[in-house]
Structure 1
């Protein structure tokens, strides 16, 4: 079953204390080690770490018209920072991987099962 590990973290540009280059380098190493472990275990599907919220573009359709706007949909203290998609046998297995996620030292990881996945050209129910 596929699970998304949805990572929310404070935005770095919000005027708060910024991590040092050494701290950023260490976190990048830890995230690479984590992704490598998922891959080695054969459960890795995909991972994306996202650009800051301020670089977001929103697309909506209201009254038949498409509206494209710069900026995030809502201002929040924590923002969507990244997503890891894994394929494991159970919720417990997904939670075990979530416990190892290094970003939980400063952010929140949401574990969500896929309801439907698009795999090899078709939608597949979970």
Structure 2
């Protein structure tokens, strides 16, 4: 089964981190990514630019509403993701616990709702 590991982190803390700490975090993520790939669990993953680069889009009464920048002021922001293949939720949670972001932020584990689970439309 496929799972998304959504990495939430405090952008302000990340931006204020000393350069040496940034290198340490990058190295930890590199090692984690390699472990996922070596195990065969890795399907995709990447970092996201800060929320100031985000755009939120909503449709209301047939009109497109666009909001630049962060939509909500929160303590943690979505910073990146991994899509993995895991035998079950417990295995996905075990991978999430190993993610470097789990020690300073939150890793949300969410199963992918496979398109094959939808009834066919005719």
> 2:15 & 2:30 partners in 1: Cα distance?
24
Question: Aligned pair 1:102/2:100, yes or no?
Answer: yes
Residues 1:124 and 2:111 aligned together? no
Match of 1:120 in 2: none
Q: Which has more strand, going by share of residues?
A: 1
Asked if residue 64 in structure 1 is aligned to residue 62 in structure 2, the reply is yes
Aligned equivalent of 1:6: 6
Secondary structure of the 2:33 match is helix
Q: Deviations over 1:26-79 (max 9, x none)?
A: 100110110111011111111121111111111111110112221122111111
TM-score with structure 2 setting the length: 0.88
Paired residue for 2:110, among 112, 120, 125?
Answer: 112
Distance in 1 (CA, whole Å) between partners of 2:36 and 2:15 is 31
User: Structure 2 regions of 5+ residues with no counterpart?
Assistant: none
Structure 1: gaps (5+ residues) = 117-122
Question: 1-side partners of 2:12 and 2:116: how far apart?
Answer: 37
Superposition deviation, residue 12 in structure 1: 2.1
Distance 1:81 1:71 in 2: 14
Task: Identify the structure with the greater helix proportion.
Answer: 2
Q: Give the alignment's TM-score, normalised by structure 1.
A: 0.86
Partner of 1:51: 49
- Over the aligned positions, Cα root-mean-square deviation in angstroms equals 1.9
